[in-house]
Amino acid sequence: MGFAKLLGRVAMKPFSRALPQMGDTERAALEAGTVGFEGQIFAGRPDFDALIATGPNALTEEEQAFLDNEVKTLCAMLDDFAIDEARDLPSEVWQYMREKRFFGMIIPKVWGGLGFGHHAHATVVTRLATVNVSAAVTVMVPNSLGPAELLLRYGTDAQKKYYLPRLANGTDLPCFGLTAPYAGSDAASIPDRGILTEREIDGVRVRGFQVTFSKRYITLAPVATVVGLAFNAVDDSRTEGPINLGITCALIPVPQSGMQIGRRHRPMDSAFMNGPIEGQDVFVPMEWVIGGEQQVGQGWRMLMESLAAGRAISLPALGAATQQSSLFVANGYGKIREQFGLPIGKFDAIAGIIAGMSAELYATDAARRFTAAALDKGEQPSVASVASAILKVHLTEAGRRSVNHAMDILGGKGIINGPSNLLSVAYRHMPVAITVEGANILTRSLIIFGQGAVRCHPYVMAEMNAVQQRDPEALGRALIGHAGHTIRNLWCSLFGAPVIGTPPEPLRKEARLLARLSAKYALTSDLAMGLLGGRLKRMELLSARLGDCLSHLYLASACIWRYTVEADSDMLPFARAALRVQLDAAEEVLRDLYANLPTPGRRMIGKLVLSRTAHLAPMRDVQMLELAALLRRRRDLVNRLCPDISAPKQGGMLDLMQALELSEQLGDETTELNKLVRRTRSFEKAAKETADPERSLAYLKAADRVIQVDDFPA
């Protein structure tokens, strides 16, 4: 008997008790998709050459033309306040989105769609969301959460031929019903049942399912013409009792006998369409099952493999849009608005906040763009994949932080609703992104590390499979490899990790620390799993910290990728600040984790693992104030951090854009001009005393529109 087999036999029993059990639905989630760069971080061996080889984001000529024309035109049709008040998009907007195939971005050209890549898809959603979130949600759902992706991957030829052209040109508007009142976060336990049966239709016996269901929170449901539905298929004709066939996905045309659809939810009183769907004994023929009868029971795997765009692309795009809008508004308003004779953006308290927003935006947008580039190169994340979970949580949370900061800076201007308001609608929408597609609390505490530990770790999945298959030799081989992995990471944690690959020279110091922190993280993950075993899965606060550390390292890696592929030396201060903030946060999380490990000697273990960390000091006040000064002086840097800001039809954001444009033309004269206004108490008199009275007056009026707020009849 070989050593590996002997070791596996000895370890089989204790490992069977220690390793968490894995159900079929969890296994389907874990096995779907691919592992990207996050796997290298989990292994403690980030390869910067592999990171950079992902390459830059790229747009085809058609994608760029669409952004420059159709997207720009659509943005100019959107009035944020008017849409919010009407609780719907104008009819001409609906028509334009259909005509220009906004609902068919991901559908290949052969089926009448636009055939766009992930980066183009994300950019469209981001640009729309900087103007009106409801329009962005309306566009994103058919492209990420609707049936099109499922049809492309699994649909029968007949289903593709019929539905894809209709979805591409907007003839059919889809929704997808998954969430039920008693199955929210635990979506795999949906109680909706479809009983296998036969019915006579036009003299022909047709096999299908008699489905009863209740769904809620379904975006586009009130206006949908076809419903994607997930239900549990059951065959109760067996003599031995009902047989659960598994989750199944089907397409139901609207209207349909037994189905009630059309009522609305009002999520944060938003204008996008969202509502419940209910059905009582709705007959679903086999030809309506996505992929036909052979795909009955395969719905959960289909969803895991196909709907990741909602987490990796669309929802992060909403978070990025909120961050960009918030930074643009905070910095711009800080230049226009004066108090105590100074632009408020020059006060340290405000400048520090703006600088922090810019550093976080650089990192989160880097991660979003890096993941889109990886997807465009062929990686296939699952809904439960680590990268998509990191983006979903950290982009939406960053959006929430940024809009909160910007609202603080706006003060009274921010809390008075009306056409002139700059951020109130986006502020109200933010909890929606936090909540949907896997609430952030759940995703942070259970998925990023809980499933990432199994999915990304080089040996844990092999160990779990070996235990489940009762294969001692496979378990022994995995344990030997795992032991070597742990020893290597212990050595690198204590004595320094090699920098694999060639990071950019200006960020080499940060890359060295990232490599070492990655080794410390990998070692800490092994220690936590080894000391706590299956209990770690239930200790959600610890699991969340392990997920947070991985997330910070992923964002930091993306900063190195972004700075390299963009080759923009002017952005070095922001890249370095973003890296320092993320690395400092990663180290702080590790310290908190060791302080909270429920094991004896945790402090000693923590001191050992975290010793000799080549600590890179976090950003100091003076450095943050320098970032803020750069943003005040150089509008081009703001534009590079906020490239997706788009001009709306009218409203406060358009007023701010116009005021900033005139301010740029006047340059330093605006300071003297504001002094003249305080002295003369007249825009006209002040403007006449300048070298360019016409432009000065235009600026003063534009700035006044930015400062004023709306009032309404009592």
Distance separating alpha carbons of residues 327 and 422, to the nearest angstrom: 12
Distance separating alpha carbons of residues 48 and 139, to the nearest angstrom: 35
Task: Give the β-pairing of 226-235 and 174-177.
Answer: parallel
From residue 391, give the alpha-carbon distance in Å to each of 362, 428, 471.
Answer: 14, 21, 37
Unique residue bearing structure tokens 């947070």: 548
Residues 6+ apart with CB under 8 A from 484: none
Unique residue bearing structure tokens 């997930």: 230
Closest CA to 569 of 503, 506, 501: 506
194 dihedral zone (left: phi>0; alpha: psi -120 to 50; beta): beta
Radius of gyration of the chain (CA): 27
294: DSSP letter: G
Distance separating alpha carbons of residues 685 and 682, to the nearest angstrom: 5
CA dihedral 188, 191, 192, 194 (to 10 degrees): 90
Distance separating alpha carbons of residues 54 and 37, to the nearest angstrom: 10
Assess whether the previous peptide bond of 458 is cis (omega < 30° from 0): no
8 A C-beta contact, residue 181 and residue 214: yes
Closest CA to 499 of 514, 484, 521: 514
Phi/psi at 179 (nearest 5 deg)? -70, 130
Structure tokens belonging to residue 554: 């992923």
Cα 475–Cα 481–Cα 486 angle in degrees, nearest 5: 120
405: DSSP letter: H
Which helix (H) or strand (E) segment holds residue 411: the answer is none
Helix axes 508-532, 602-610, angle to 10 degrees: 160
Phi/psi at 474 (nearest 5 deg)? -65, -40
Distance separating alpha carbons of residues 623 and 573, to the nearest angstrom: 9
CA dihedral 451, 452, 455, 461 (to 10 degrees): -70
Distance separating alpha carbons of residues 714 and 697, to the nearest angstrom: 32
If one counts every other C-beta atom within 10 angstroms of the C-beta of residue 280, the result is: 13
437 is catalytic: yes
Burial of 349 (0-12, 13-18, 19+ CB in 10 A): exposed
Alpha helix stretches (DSSP H) within 411-457:
412-415, 424-435, 440-442, 452-456
Closest CA to 400 of 330, 310, 320: 320
Give the DSSP per-residue string, 604-668.
Answer: HHHHHHHTT--PPPPPPHHHHHHHHHHHHH-HHHHHHHSTT----SSSHHHHHHHHHHHHHHHTT
Give the rounded distance of the alpha carbon of 140 from its chain centre.
12
Cα 98–Cα 224–Cα 97 angle in degrees, nearest 5: 15
Q: Coil, strand, or helix at residue 279?
A: strand
Task: Give the β-pairing of 274-285 and 243-253.
Answer: unpaired
8 A C-beta contact, residue 135 and residue 646: no
8 A C-beta contact, residue 42 and residue 457: yes
Which of 437, 463, 510, 587 is the catalytic position?
437
Residues 6+ apart with CB under 8 A from 669: 690, 691, 692, 696
Active-site residues, by number, are 437
